[in-house]
Structure 1
Amino acid sequence: MGGNHTQIKFILLGITDRPSAQAPLFVFFLLIYVVTLLGNIGIITLVRVSPSLHTPMYFFLTHLAFIDICYSTVISPRMLADLLSEDKIISFSECVMQFLMFVFFAVTECHLLAMMAYDRHVAICQPLLYVTIISSHVCWQLVASSYLFAFPIAIVCTWCTFGGSFCGSNHIDHFFCDYVPVLKLVCSDTHSSEMVIFAFVTINVVGASVIILLSYISILRNVLRMCSTQSRARVFHTCASHLMAVSLFFGTAFFMYLQPPSSHRSLDKVASIIYTVVTPMLNLFIYSLRNKEVKWALQKCRRRKHPSPLFISHFCH
């Protein structure tokens, strides 16, 4: 990265500068973070100990839960610490690492949601070939490609964000090191960096959105051919959870990253809170509380004579 950045320190301005609001916000976001951690760990373990959930859909779901844990952990602990601290200084290397991991997990989640849509498409539109098309080997290849593809994108976006010269203010008007508030502190021309990041975001977000859209168009066409109202309702119920998660994640991503940096405004922090803090928790409720198979596995977990580890028993009650 250009220039000597080792001595640079940033100051995160955080969610709010009102002292009276910081303690209530700390309690609120701490509760969200704890629920996110315990709930997603519970989902991962429940899928692993329940043979009825050993299917490709729940294989993808465990990886989504893992990504949500990591994704939330990259942002929430630092945000919580800053809400109770007057010293909101973050070093250059810490800022770079936070942004790098944020982009890596965000891109991976983007791809996982697209793969889950493709999985539903094959299950509903080609049920007789489902086991052949979405085999265990294919599942691992799809998930591995998500992680591998996300890594170079995270590297390039991080380089574009932090590779310039910082010589002005060191105050980041955000609660984490995101590219828009960081680029505002760069003295050199950032137009090319903005265009590269915009192109990568567009390719990933729009590309994944197209896969999801085409999958659900095919599903809808297949559903409309069904004669049974009960079959239609079952298919819509199966897909509703995924559509809710997709709408929440991609909706805020479109709002945040597919607009010029000059258009960003005060609502950015609210949108950022939704997709970095709230969405990882909501995915848990969207996929578990609305899913009959997960509820059945939880009930079976309750009835076990030999209880699972403590956090599983807690999750089941």
Structure 2
Amino acid sequence: MMLALESDADLQPFNSMAISERAERLVRVESDAQLREALALADAHGWPVTLLGGGSNVVLAGPVPGLVLVMCSRGRRVLKRDGDAVLVEAEAGENWHRLVGWSLDLGLSGLENLALIPGTVGAAPVQNIGAYGVEVRDLFDSLDALDRETGEIRGFSLEECEFAYRDSVFKREVGRYVILRVRLRLHTHAQLRVDYAPLAAAWAATGLARPDARVVAQLVMSIRRSKLPDPSVMPNAGSFFKNPLVSASVASALAAQFPSMPQFLQTDGQVKLAAGWLIDQAGWKGFRDGPVGVHSEQALVLVNPGGGTGAQVLGLAEKIRQDVLQRYGVLLEQEPPVVGG
């Protein structure tokens, strides 16, 4: 299939913040061959390349020059069964939540805690997405990515992805790799993780003793819907700030000054703080700044109900960062990258 190159394309349908910016050129990529063709075209003309998956974790802050690639590849399959372990593979353009549902329909467990996370399969390893005590790296087997420096398709193991909290080698080496497909190791017998406080309480309330991945997924979706706005109704990019990691000594000092501050000890000795709590306690929940604002139920989510610009979203984010820094001495790190401008 030949490339369909769109000029001066509106990017509003391709980002969950519903920010209206223009792409100088845009192409929807459905195969490895199309990806190579698009990249060769960009290289031949000296166009910068911007990659978009579901656009659920990005802030558009201006026109995007060069060529925007929207990953639209589809396909998911079972590759191997080995006792309780089942290896599945999905193409980068697949919708993440639909992959979770597909795995549950096959009677597989592992992805249930990650239900209803927006975005595509290819974007999931970049952020090492996680929720309710589970991260992609906990289920990850391997992936294939096109190395733009060498032009070769390379396989990545768990170790080679260098996963960390909301981080990976793909996030650190921006623009070098294009993820093509991802393989995950799931299970036929439920190995449930329901120790995360809100999920544990919801699970206990069911009264069920027998593990059931589909029930856990339903509980996760219910909790997410009660706290997080649907981007199709209230434009947003999900959690806008990372939960900050601080040293044990800093955490101890904060606990002495703010006894109710939630703290979570990590295996490396650092302590994770709740960014949403910090923002909420600083009084930002439900705040409106012109067309943009902070969600009324979850202070970690910035929303764009009034059709604001990327600059307005980033301006509000900076006000919040500076206020939290002044109050608590903790610098919040923005989660979605900025594109354009």
More relative contact order, 1 or 2 (CA 8 Å, 6+ apart)? 1
TM-score, normalised relative to structure 2: 0.23
TM-score, normalised relative to structure 1: 0.24
In proportion to residue count, which structure has more strand? 2
In proportion to residue count, which structure has more helix? 1
